[in-house]
Structure 1
Amino acid sequence: MHLSTVILPVHRWHEDGRERWQRAEELGFHTAYTYDHLSWRTFRDGPWFGAIPTLTAAAAATERMRLGTLVTSPNFRHPVTLAKELIALDDISGGRITLGIGAGGSGFDATTLLGNGAEPWTPRARADRFQEFVPLLDRLLSEDSVTYEGAFYSAHQARNIPGCVQRPRLPFAVAATGPRGLKLTARHGQAWVTTGDPKLFDTGTPEESREAIRGQIGRLGAACAEIDRDVAELDKILLTGFTPDRNRPLESLDAFVDFAGRHAELGFTEIVLHAPIPDSDFATDQAVFEKIATEAPAQLG
């Protein structure tokens, strides 16, 4: 099992931002991700930097660790411009980029670009856009020239030469739990991402959460079977902090190994931990976090 981390883009690069990404590599994390939002929840009124520039700087400051978004969405991205930025980022990093991508939520990203009085997209509307966004982005990252006219996006002779360092393109880690999103994952994904079942966050139990996730994986398997794809080909990534356990797995090495082991039994190949941020929902102990990073992989195998 791989152990990865999320470093939220809240740190000034020349104060302690660079050191946080370099420390993640020193600790041996498989991948360091960051959120791709315009702002996010309780961090809205504080520093929040752009994901692509942050990852570009991280690519120049690290050598081995993979890097990525967790996740990018159509809420404020267009496939043509995003593809161009990702190709450059993959080149700068030497082929170390994973694109975490999802349909987006109803937070600040969903309303920042809307005009006065415009209604935010409904979940169905976000799914409609996502269903067009992912295949088009796949083409843009895989083909030298793309022309496309859809309901929501268009591209006219969009050139993306020389393409990604990773071939045929950089990998997609698709965050999805609904039927259409799981079908997109099966067809276009190299990995699948979940945070668990949000309906269980406040009132559910860890056991109920694992059972819900088991159901998600079953539905992913069914989506793969529809196109004769082996679900085992997909890496399965759990972003922690949003199950009923919250941050309890980060209270000790033993607690984390137990948590990760139970999810490995479900088929997960990668567990992602939020790097500690004081006075926030992710205010875990830095020493315990580093102990988990350095000692848990050997226990998990």
Structure 2
Amino acid sequence: MSLRLSTVILPYRRWHDGGRAAWERAEELGFHAAYTYDHLSWRSFRDGPWFGAVPTLTAAAAVTERMRLGTLVASPNFRHPVTLAKELISLDDVSGGRVTLGIGAGGTGFDATALGREPWTPQERADRFAEFVLLLDRLLTEDGTNGVSYAGDYYSAREARNIPGCVQRPRMPFAVAANGPRGLRLAARYGQAWVTTGDPRTNAAGTPEQSRVALRDQVEKLGKACVNVGRDADDVHKILLTGFTPERSRPLESLDAFVDFAGKHQELGFSEIVLHWPIPDSDFAADEAVFEQIALEALAQLG
């Protein structure tokens, strides 16, 4: 399986002061997709500028033509399926059908408390996520005049209409971020792709070798989940968002370092590697010249 190379562009710059240029350059460099985080703010960027994901992606859709666009990832922390579906259908229309919805259960950071409530327990996050994905799938797939009605424990919809529906049929692809059993089952059932940042335990205190063992285990568990729902695991695209495994920024130190990193993870079954666009004085600082060299030359070496 050939490898795809994508990037994630954090929405911390004003559109007319470097924001637009990054998305245009990403397409020029030939990235398969460019994603952005869907947060209200994020970690070390919390006290600085941070813009909304869907408006940013809509603007990016207007200045690009070929590259796929998406969230990595949206979550229930501050989203409701009905309103999010309407925004996504509009974005899919503006982009001409180039949107991938990266979606995850969310965490306990700023997004979890910004609306004035206490963070959900892990159990409630998992329960909400299951309903969230189920209802989004229906909202983005069923575009009839009767709309979608649903009454769950956490989310409801009453004759929610999404005419004319997605440009992509039957709907835009879902890239489900998941590590645990329930999340992997959702990825197997609803996902056209699966996203991981690695195993949290080995990311925090493991070696690169231990990380690859953990990732292989995740891939195998996803495969079993696919079998259980009657799917071929090869039909689920496997995406690795870099920057969190024990290597951290090492893959961006040189072209050779990246080719070595990407090749080892391609052997595990990953078909898409996502690199953070370099941000000076941050966890994602990197030499922009090396980053661009990787974008332009790495895939030819990986085959």
TM-score w.r.t. the length of structure 2 is 0.98
Once the two structures are TM-superposed, the CA of residue 203 in structure 1 deviates from its matched residue by 1.9
2:170 is matched with which residue?
168
Q: Does 1:232 align with 2:234?
A: yes
- Once residues 279 and 138 of structure 1 are traced to their aligned partners in structure 2, the CA distance between those partners, rounded to angstroms, is 39
The within-5 A match list for 1:6-25 is 6-25=8-27
Encode CA deviations 1:186-245: one digit per residue, 9 max, x unaligned: 110000000001111232000000000111111101111111110000100000000000
Encode CA deviations 1:233-269: one digit per residue, 9 max, x unaligned: 0100000000000010100000000000000000000
Which of 196, 220, 223 is 1:221 aligned to?
223
The within-5 A match list for 1:143-222 is 143-144=142-143, 145-222=147-224
| Secondary structure of 1:295 counterpart | helix
Once the two structures are TM-superposed, the CA of residue 15 in structure 1 deviates from its matched residue by 1.2
1:120 is matched with which residue?
119
Question: Which range moves more in the overlay, 168-177 or 199-208?
Answer: 199-208
Encode CA deviations 1:5-34: one digit per residue, 9 max, x unaligned: 000000100111111000000000000000
| Secondary structure of 1:258 counterpart | helix
Letter in structure 2 aligned against 1:55: L
| Secondary structure of 2:280 counterpart | coil
- Once residues 121 and 210 of structure 1 are traced to their aligned partners in structure 2, the CA distance between those partners, rounded to angstroms, is 31
- Once residues 56 and 202 of structure 1 are traced to their aligned partners in structure 2, the CA distance between those partners, rounded to angstroms, is 35
Which of 264, 267, 270 is 1:268 aligned to?
270
CA-atom RMSD in angstroms? 0.6
Once the two structures are TM-superposed, the CA of residue 69 in structure 1 deviates from its matched residue by 0.3
Which of 55, 74, 77 is 1:72 aligned to?
74
Q: Does 1:99 align with 2:97?
A: no
Once the two structures are TM-superposed, the CA of residue 170 in structure 1 deviates from its matched residue by 0.2
- Once residues 247 and 89 of structure 1 are traced to their aligned partners in structure 2, the CA distance between those partners, rounded to angstroms, is 32
Letter in structure 2 aligned against 1:182: L
Letter in structure 1 aligned against 2:296: T
1:44 is matched with which residue?
46
Once the two structures are TM-superposed, the CA of residue 89 in structure 1 deviates from its matched residue by 0.1
Q: Does 1:259 align with 2:261?
A: yes
- Once residues 173 and 5 of structure 2 are traced to their aligned partners in structure 1, the CA distance between those partners, rounded to angstroms, is 18
Which runs of 5 or more residues in structure 1 are unaligned? none
Query: Which structure 1 residue ranges, 4+ long, deviate > 4 Å from structure 2?
Result: none
1:131 is matched with which residue?
130
Once the two structures are TM-superposed, the CA of residue 126 in structure 1 deviates from its matched residue by 0.5
Q: Does 1:89 align with 2:91?
A: yes
- Once residues 124 and 216 of structure 1 are traced to their aligned partners in structure 2, the CA distance between those partners, rounded to angstroms, is 20
- Once residues 15 and 77 of structure 1 are traced to their aligned partners in structure 2, the CA distance between those partners, rounded to angstroms, is 28
1:141 is matched with which residue?
140
Once the two structures are TM-superposed, the CA of residue 185 in structure 1 deviates from its matched residue by 0.5
Once the two structures are TM-superposed, the CA of residue 114 in structure 1 deviates from its matched residue by 2.4
Once the two structures are TM-superposed, the CA of residue 123 in structure 1 deviates from its matched residue by 1.3
1:287 is matched with which residue?
289
Which runs of 5 or more residues in structure 2 are unaligned? none
- Once residues 210 and 156 of structure 2 are traced to their aligned partners in structure 1, the CA distance between those partners, rounded to angstroms, is 42
- Once residues 297 and 82 of structure 2 are traced to their aligned partners in structure 1, the CA distance between those partners, rounded to angstroms, is 42
Letter in structure 2 aligned against 1:238: L
Q: Does the 8 Å CA contact 1:114/1:120 hold for their aligned counterparts?
A: no
Q: Number of residue pairs matched? A: 298
Q: Does the 8 Å CA contact 1:25/1:64 hold for their aligned counterparts?
A: yes
- Once residues 204 and 119 of structure 2 are traced to their aligned partners in structure 1, the CA distance between those partners, rounded to angstroms, is 25
Taking only the aligned residue pairs, the percentage that are identical comes to 76
- Once residues 178 and 88 of structure 1 are traced to their aligned partners in structure 2, the CA distance between those partners, rounded to angstroms, is 32
Once the two structures are TM-superposed, the CA of residue 135 in structure 1 deviates from its matched residue by 0.8
Encode CA deviations 1:62-106: one digit per residue, 9 max, x unaligned: 011000000000000000000000000000000000000000011
